[in-house]
Amino acid sequence: MNTLKLRSLLEQYFIEDIGEQDITTDLIFTDDTNGEIVFLAKESGIFCGEEIIKTGFQLLNTTISAQVFVKDGQSFEIGQELAHVSGKIADLLKGERVILNLVQRMSGIATLTRKTVNTLDSGHTKICDTRKTTPGLRMLEKYAVRCGGGFNHRFGLYDGVMIKDNHISFAGSITKAVEAIRKNAGHMVKVEVEVESEEQVLEAVNAGADVIMFDNRTPNEIKELIKLVPPSIITEASGGIQLTNIADYRETGVDFISLGYLTHSYKALDISVKVRWNKGEE
């Protein structure tokens, strides 16, 4: 992850939650008493959020110490202590909810991605995400996909050309759309084209597409359409593919399967934050 962007995002999240002050915490804890909290797993999964914990609490108070016992991408079990964080009680309480929210969600995505990769069980086809992410969380959600064993598709409209059905309709044809891109883009830009039929596959190939994406095609349809694509062109499948049927695409031969559900239909993992000790009670 981009460290500078991570800090900026966390600052925004803390400002949203804390506002002018944490009125409850600030009225109860008026001194610098220290304590420790523990992140405790209430279900098993794949962990993601090491830098969220470390960077997040450091933003609130540089004297806070965080020990994270699992690495991003590692599995954990129910009842496992994932991290200990010690420091000024007031700052621990102000940061715990924002940080926990992110760790739960990112670990949920990593866990779902790992399950998807294992279910596909392919030595060739890679799983990747889409732009169907939560606004403001794209960098974090896409990082979680990588922690789960998946790959990232484009991060936004700015870093990859993807000619979809509406582009084709407005441009008049795949050929015209690709020609316009080639005329105006630099030599480093790859062009992906979304196709639905044999005619569109052949047109995309002849137009010089770098990547061809089979949109909402069945496994059997893809097996036939992919025969029309030269080995030099990357292939991708997307649309209508879920965890329940992804194994059916194992033998299609596509290079990538892009899945929106990884980042829009995941379940946040059940992780809690508990008080471990309070120095004022020792």
What is the per-residue pLDDT across 173-219, written as a single tens digit (0 to 9) for each? 999 999 999 999 988 999 999 999 999 999 999 999 999 999 999 99
Burial 162-174 (b: 16+ CB within 10 A, else e): bbeeebbeebeeb
Measure the CA–CA gap between 250 and 243, rounded to whole angstroms: 12
Share of the chain above pLDDT 90, in %: 95
Measure the CA–CA gap between 96 and 64, rounded to whole angstroms: 12
Q: What are phi and psi of 36, to 5 degrees?
A: -140, 140
The catalytic residue among 194, 203, 217, 236 is 194
Q: Is 194 a catalytic residue?
A: yes
Measure the CA–CA gap between 231 and 266, rounded to whole angstroms: 34
The catalytic residue among 131, 132, 190, 250 is 132
Measure the CA–CA gap between 145 and 48, rounded to whole angstroms: 9
Q: For residues 112-125, give the mean pLDDT.
A: 98
Measure the CA–CA gap between 131 and 122, rounded to whole angstroms: 23
Measure the CA–CA gap between 170 and 159, rounded to whole angstroms: 22
Helices 89-120 and 3-18: angle between axes, nearest 10 degrees? 120
Q: Is 132 a catalytic residue?
A: yes
For each of the domains in the chain, give its residue range(s) and CATH number, in order of start. 3-116+267-281 (3.90.1170.20), 121-264 (3.20.20.70)
Q: Is 215 a catalytic residue?
A: yes
pLDDT in tens, 210-249: 999 999 999 999 999 999 999 999 999 999 999 999 999 9
Average pLDDT, the chain: 96
pLDDT at 280 over 60: no
The catalytic residue among 138, 215, 217, 236 is 215
Q: Is 91 a catalytic residue?
A: no
CA distances to 10, 52, 54, 152 from 61, in Å: 13, 14, 11, 33
Strands (DSSP E) contained in the chain are 34-41, 45-46, 65-68, 75-76, 81-88, 126-128, 161-163, 191-195, 211-215, 234-238, 256-258, 271-278
Residues 6+ apart with CB under 8 A from 176: none
pLDDT at 282 over 50: no
The catalytic residue among 97, 182, 190, 276 is 97
The catalytic residue among 5, 42, 71, 164 is 164
